[in-house]
Amino acid sequence: MRLRKSGILLHITSLPSEFAIGDLGRGAYHFADFLAESGQTLWQMLPFNPTSPACGNSPYCCFSAFAGNPLLIAPDLLVQSGYLAQSDLEGDFSANPQRVDYDRAAELKNGLLKKAYEKFRQMGEPKCALENFVKTNAHWLNDYALFICLKEQFFGAPWSDWPSEIRDRTQPALDEWTQRLAENIEREKFSQFLFFGQWSALKSYCNQKQIQVIGDIPIYVSHDSADVWAHREFFKLECDGRPALVAGVPPDYFSSTGQLWGNPVYSWDRLRETSYAWWIRRIRHNLSYFDIVRLDHFRGFVAYWEVPASEQTAINGRWVDAPATQFFNEVLSRFPSISVIAEDLGIITPDVREVMNLYEFPGMKPLLFAFGGDLSTNPYVPHNHVRNCVVYTGTHDNNTVKGWFEHDATRAEKENLAAYFGRELDADTVSLAFVGVAMMSVASTVIIPMQDFVELGMEARMNTPSVSFGNWEWRVEADRLAPDLSQRIAHLTRIYGRK
């Protein structure tokens, strides 16, 4: 990450497709072509794990930290693989090309995946590839497949509400349910086999075009996940499996009551006793599918805010130290060539900076934070950037640049903006002005959300934090990824010496 590079932030769900949600099919390959034609060498995306409607389909609230989201499997590639017939795709799959429809996508994809599984079972060819996949991924796949099937059996109830024998994973109950649900379990494993087969092919295609893929590792996992159910000892839980202490952030100028996320916090002492084996497996898994990883909420690896689960706000929490240096020493001893981006937004204390500097992990510099306060000292303003950082116009949690200018920017920020650029900007010019100063930054790496390249407003915002539903739905229309745009991006990239 020391070379001058640039890329685009676009999640898989936001890609064009015919099946109500972006997927790993034609739209993904066309976007990889668009990146290459635009001179971009980085594609950043959000976590691709299986999401839950109960969490508004947030990619940061998933049933597994290892599994792939079956909704992202591409039906057109299943036809190419022989698992579906072309006639299976001749029904009415129409959907809004500008918004993800998760319910519609689940209806379409689940039916097609069942057909694909039945076709697979009828095939006479050897099943060695599936068997090898299942064996290689057994450390997470067996628990995940059983977990998903049990959730269906118990009408979606969280695992802590299941009958105590299977909630507590007694061996007789595990054996009984594994046998009872054997066919459904095999189908879930097959879906994961399809997902990671399609993903690996797409990543190889990107790498052949000199594009590196940046994945995202949320620090916390969902309580209602296969990970917590199968590894209760690594989380601070009550005897009945419910969280005893949960994660969040304390009150600050964004919120007088802080943010209560609800994820169970780690028992770092128990993790240390295993030399952080669960985390090592998680990182190894991600590094097999991504070239670079972003560690979300990096400060939580140094010290984290834990709150009793009975609290309604994050006010009555406390800071608890995490074994950051010991943990990262272990990680780097296993993966000495790992490339990490540290998500260091929010209130970052000197101890967090010390750890980032020790390991030379680059932090993030969103330009939307640059024009408040004193321009001479604001760390996000371009003249204060350092080489070892990643500049963004904004992130998935921010408004688009145009949306920010039209709806969020204060009068003082607009005045600072005009003073800094030496001219008045408006809603029609601000997006590309931000892109330009990002590209010219001394920072080694620049990532631009796709929404800002196509100059969209708040209608294209990906996520509004603290709003539970209606997020993660924006999609880019295929005709936006046009040759004239790729030529303009390539021109900027050449001017500012990026690759």
- Tally the domains of the chain: 1
Which amino acid belongs to residue 133?
A: F
Residue 182 falls inside a structural domain: no
Domain that holds residue 349: 5-130+208-362+444-495
- 89 in any annotated domain: yes
3 state DSSP class of 135:
helix
Enumerate long-range contacts of 265-274, CB under 8 Å, 24 or more apart. Answer: 265/220, 265/235, 265/236, 265/304, 265/306, 265/320, 266/234, 266/235, 266/236, 266/322, 267/233, 267/234, 267/235, 267/236, 268/322, 268/323, 268/327, 270/233, 270/234, 271/234, 272/323, 272/326
Strands of the 245-249 sheet, one edge to the other: 259-264, 245-249, 303-308, 318-321
Element (H, E) at 54: none
* pLDDT of amino acid 254: 67
pLDDT of the residue at 464: 94
For tokens 């109950």, name the residue: 173
Taking 50 as the pLDDT cut, the residues of the chain under it are none
221 is a domain residue: yes
> Which pLDDT does position 256 carry in this prediction?
87
State how beta strands 245-249 and 303-308 pair.
Answer: antiparallel
Q: Residue 375 falls within a domain, yes or no? A: no
Q: What is the pLDDT of residue 1?
A: 63
**Phi, psi at 445, each rounded to 5°:** -130, 135
pLDDT at 56: 96
Kindly tell me the sign of the dihedral angle through the C-alpha atoms of 298, 301, 303, 306. positive
pLDDT of residue 187: 97
What is the per-residue pLDDT across 65-89, written as a single tens digit (0 to 9) for each? 999 999 999 999 999 999 999 999 9
Distances (CA, A) of 49 to 9, 237, 367: 17, 23, 28
The span from the first CA to the last CA of the chain, in angstroms, equals: 11
Q: Give the CATH number for residue 227.
A: 3.20.20.80
278 domain-assigned = yes
Which residues are the active-site residues? 296, 343, 397
Q: Encoding tokens for residue 468? A: 């539970």
* Structural contact between residues 361 and 298, judged by C-beta atoms closer than 8 angstroms: yes
If one counts every other C-beta atom within 10 angstroms of the C-beta of residue 154, the result is 15
Q: What gap in Å lies between CA 499 and CA 495, rounded to an integer?
A: 11
SS3 435: helix
Model pTM above 0.95: yes
DSSP run (H or E) holding 248 = strand 245-249
Give the Cα separation of 261 and 61 in Å (integer).
Answer: 10
- The CA dihedral of 145, 66, 366, 397, to the nearest 10 degrees, is 10
Buried b / exposed e across 479-499, counting CB within 10 Å, b at 16+? Answer: ebbeeebbeebeebbeebebe
The per-residue pLDDT for range 28-51, each reduced to its tens digit, is 999 999 999 999 999 999 999 999
Strand runs labelled E in 123-167: none
- Is residue 194 in a domain? no
Residue from 85, 86, 104 nearest 21 by CA: 104
In a domain, 354, yes or no: yes
Angle at 202 between CA 197 and CA 206, to 5 degrees: 150
